[in-house]
Structure formats: structure tokens, C-alpha cells
Structure 1
Amino acid sequence: MLIEMKDVNLVYDVGHDEETYALKNINLNIKENRFYGILGPSGSGKSSLLYLLSGLRKPSSGEVIYKGKAYKDIRGKEMAQIRNKQFGFIFQRHFLMNYLTALENVLVPLNSNKKEDIDKAKELLIKLGLEREINKRPAKMSGGQRQRVAIARALINDPEIIFADEITASLDHKNAFEVMKVLEGFKGKAAILVVTHDESILSGAEEIIRVWDGSIKSVEESRVNAL
């Protein structure tokens, strides 16, 4: 098992008269090389679930276990290396550096100017349909193009897990489906977790995790893969 969640709770305002459960009694297993959709309405706790799975947030109780080791037992430097080497992150906001070109943004996680790394970054951008944007800065690109640069940046280290949080929320349908098609191209090569409120973009997902009011309502094989 790649990631396990055991009796996980995430509580805000701990110790106050009114504690708020963002997530409650979560038990979940994430397997290698599977494409998961995390689906739920706004405020349901789906993004909080992703942040706990990735170690960006700590649970109030329970354990999140990565490859047999609880996040709480992984020290800061080791966790930083895991996030840089094993995890790829894509957020609703692309968080590109405006003063860098598309190519330079993709190379940021590597902190390298080696020819082989530059060539790899270029290959990723070309694969994502961004051959003409390689030397452009974010301000000269469309929203869909910027999001694809962010995807290339997330993939540059060949991560074993890709965490994607509402990455199509600010895109029109055409760009949203283009971005999802890119991610689907990595099925079988990494575990992919996509948080969204829009089920229509999850046609390529193999499992759907439905989140409602801080709880997992169901984990089901997607309709497409069940056929």
C-alpha cells in the first residue's frame, strides 16, 4: 500500500467550546499507479483530505502512513526530500514564478542547468503542447497553458504520486479537458489524486472517493472502468 489513513480526524478550534471537524474518522488506502478522483461539493473536506494524504497538513488524531512509515515519524528534512522527489503538486493557482520562462519554471524543482535536465524539461513541455511557449513568461500565456506548465513542473522528477487540487476550477471546459487528458497520459506510471467538484472531468479515473461533510461517503470503481 502506498498511503494509508487510519482513524484520521482533522479538527479546527481544538479546545474551544465549538470544535469543527474538517474530517472525521477517515480510513482510506491509496494504491500505487491508480488514478483517483476525490469528489465533493465546496466545503466537504476534499482538499483537506488531499493535504493530509500529502503531509502538507497534520491530522488532529489518527495516522497517515506512507510506505509503512507514519508521517509523524518522518523528520522535516526527510519529508522535504519526499515532497521534492516522490510527490508532484498541482494546485488551482499555478504558482509559477512570473519572472521565469516556462522552461525555467519547470526546472525549479531540479535546481539544475545540466543539459540532460534542460532537455527533459523541454520534452515535457513539447509533450504538453507547449513547444511555442518554452521561452515565454507566464504573463504571455493563457490560463490553460500556465496550468500545463505547472503540470510539467510537477512531473519533472518522475513522482510516484501526483496531488492535484481543483486544477481545472478556473479553466473553461476545453482547457479543463485538455489538462485532464494530459494527466490521464500518466495512468499506470504514478498514483494520481485529483480533487474536484466536477465529476465530468473524472472520466479517466479508476476510483472515485466521494467526500461529504468531512466524511468519506463511498469509494467506488468509476463507471467507465467498471464496464
Structure 2
Amino acid sequence: MTSVKTESSIIKTVGLTRSYGEICALAPLDLQVTEGEWLTIMGHSGSGKSTLLNLLGGLDRPTAGTLLVDGENLLSLSEDQLARFRRESVGIIFQQHHLIPYLTSLENVMMAQYFHSIPDAVEASLALEKVGLGKRLANRPRELSGGEQQRVCIARAIINNPKLLLGDELTGNLDHKSTHLVMELLKELHETERFTLVLVTHNQEVAGWGQRTIFMDDGTVVKDVRQGRSN
């Protein structure tokens, strides 16, 4: 296993590609993301956004190129090492919540602890309090609104203190009010927990919450814009 840290970057890709047969989902792509940065990825459907996010999270493997995340060369990791990387370094929030329907909010968060180390109800309760659900510990997903379910997912993603938090269209199923509440929460957590945040979205308003936005087309970055908000 190779571990390399480049300056203050938590993500560095060089010539990163991903192909599925004859289909090129990600063209040679160079990208660098600084530790603690909030990066948004935008682009039309099929532009490579989710493919890139899956590669960064260790959910998929590149076809070629260099991929360094938190000092790890993901291309050199075995399946067991990649699983460890996902457990210890990355938190992922999906558009579809993937909450276990028969478990409570507390138990859903504790499941992430189970795969990482040892479940701790007190720590899981504190994570839910951070996202404003301290009074919803015993509720099951069907008893929560869409915005509340997404906040459980955020608590689950941050419970193991990841350095990198990834979100794939995490507000895609939420109304405007719930979207605003979730983004306010992410902003507060980003400022206090100091993780690096990478979000995929189609929503220009959501992109405006971050510090930097890259636009993708045909599997590569075509525009890179830095915004006014700072750490």
C-alpha cells in the first residue's frame, strides 16, 4: 500500500480515466482539492459527475491515471484496503437515503459505527443532536420528513469523523425550504468539523453555498470557478 501526501491537497488526480467497455465515462482528468475546501461539481446528466464522485469515494476503480485521496494511492489498494479506506476516511450522502426502514434514527447512525469500529449510542446521539434531531432518536425513517431523513444520513456520514465528505444530489428530492435547511446545516458542520466537502448537484443555488465549482462535460472539467465564501 502506497501513501503519499501532496502539499495541503486531500485529492489529486492526474490523467484519471474510467471506461466501461467502449464507453468513456471519464476522460483524462486532472484535479486538485485542498484540505478543508468545499467543492461543487456541476454538469448535465452523463457528464461524468457521479463517476468522478464514485472514484473519489472508493466505490469504483479507475481505468487509468493517478488518484490520490487523503494520501492514499487508490489504484494500488487491495479490496480489503479499499474497504478500510472507505470506512476510515470517507463519509457519503446519497440522494436516495438508504436508511434501514426498521431501524430508528439512532440505530441507523450506529450501523455506520458498527462497520467502522464499535457502536456507541452516546456518540451517535451527539451526532444526531448536531444535525438537529436530538428529539428524533427513536423515530424510524417513515416517521420522518424527507429533510429529516437526509439529516439522519448526514449524521451517519459524519459519525466516524471522515476527512472527506461526499454528497451526490443530496437535495435532489427536497423542497426549497428543506434544501435551505440542509445546506445551512452543511455550512455549519463544514466550518466546525473542518472536513473537505465535495458535492455533485444540478442546482445552481446549492452550488452557490460552496467555495469553488467545477463544471464537467464529456467526462472532463471544462470550467473551474472560485466563489466568494472562504473557510
TM-score by length of 1: 0.90
Q: Which moved more, 1:76-85 or 1:155-164?
A: 76-85
How does 1:52-131 map onto structure 2 within 5 Å?
A: 52-111=55-114, 117-131=120-134
- Indicate yes or no: 2:166 matched with 1:163: yes
Aligned counterparts of 2:38 and 2:92: Cα–Cα separation in 1: 15
3-state secondary structure, aligned to 1:43: coil
Code of the residue aligned with 1:161 in structure 2: it is L
Give the 3 Å change call, closer, same or farther, for CA 113–24 of structure 1 in structure 2: closer
**1:9 aligned partner:** 17
Give the 3 Å change call, closer, same or farther, for CA 69–84 of structure 1 in structure 2: closer
**2:229 aligned partner:** 225
Q: Deviation at 1:56? A: 1.1
Q: Deviation at 1:41? A: 1.7
Measured on the aligned residues, the alpha-carbon RMSD in Å equals 1.6
Q: Runs of 5+ in structure 2 lacking a partner?
A: 1-8
Q: Which moved more, 1:67-76 or 1:129-138?
A: 67-76
Q: Deviation at 1:69? A: 3.5
Q: Identity percentage over the alignment?
A: 35
**1:200 aligned partner:** 205
3-state secondary structure, aligned to 2:190: coil
Structure 2 contact 70–89 (Cα < 8 Å) conserved: no
Q: Deviation at 1:203? A: 2.5
Q: Deviation at 1:20? A: 1.9
Aligned counterparts of 1:151 and 1:7: Cα–Cα separation in 2: 31
Q: Deviation at 1:33? A: 0.7
Aligned counterparts of 1:83 and 1:158: Cα–Cα separation in 2: 12
Give the paired residue count: 218
Structure 2 contact 130–155 (Cα < 8 Å) conserved: no
Aligned counterparts of 2:39 and 2:47: Cα–Cα separation in 1: 17
3-state secondary structure, aligned to 1:131: coil
Q: Deviation at 1:213? A: 2.1
Aligned counterparts of 2:46 and 2:76: Cα–Cα separation in 1: 30
Code of the residue aligned with 1:90 in structure 2: it is I
Give the 3 Å change call, closer, same or farther, for CA 7–144 of structure 1 in structure 2: same
Aligned counterparts of 1:113 and 1:136: Cα–Cα separation in 2: 22
Give the 3 Å change call, closer, same or farther, for CA 134–26 of structure 1 in structure 2: same
**Aligned to 1:175, which of 178, 197, 203?**
178
Deviations 1:117-144 (A, max 9, x none): 3222112212212123210011111111
Give the 3 Å change call, closer, same or farther, for CA 95–218 of structure 1 in structure 2: same
TM-score by length of 2: 0.89
Code of the residue aligned with 1:35 in structure 2: it is W
**Aligned to 2:188, which of 185, 200, 203?**
185
Aligned counterparts of 2:67 and 2:127: Cα–Cα separation in 1: 32
Q: Deviation at 1:11? A: 1.4
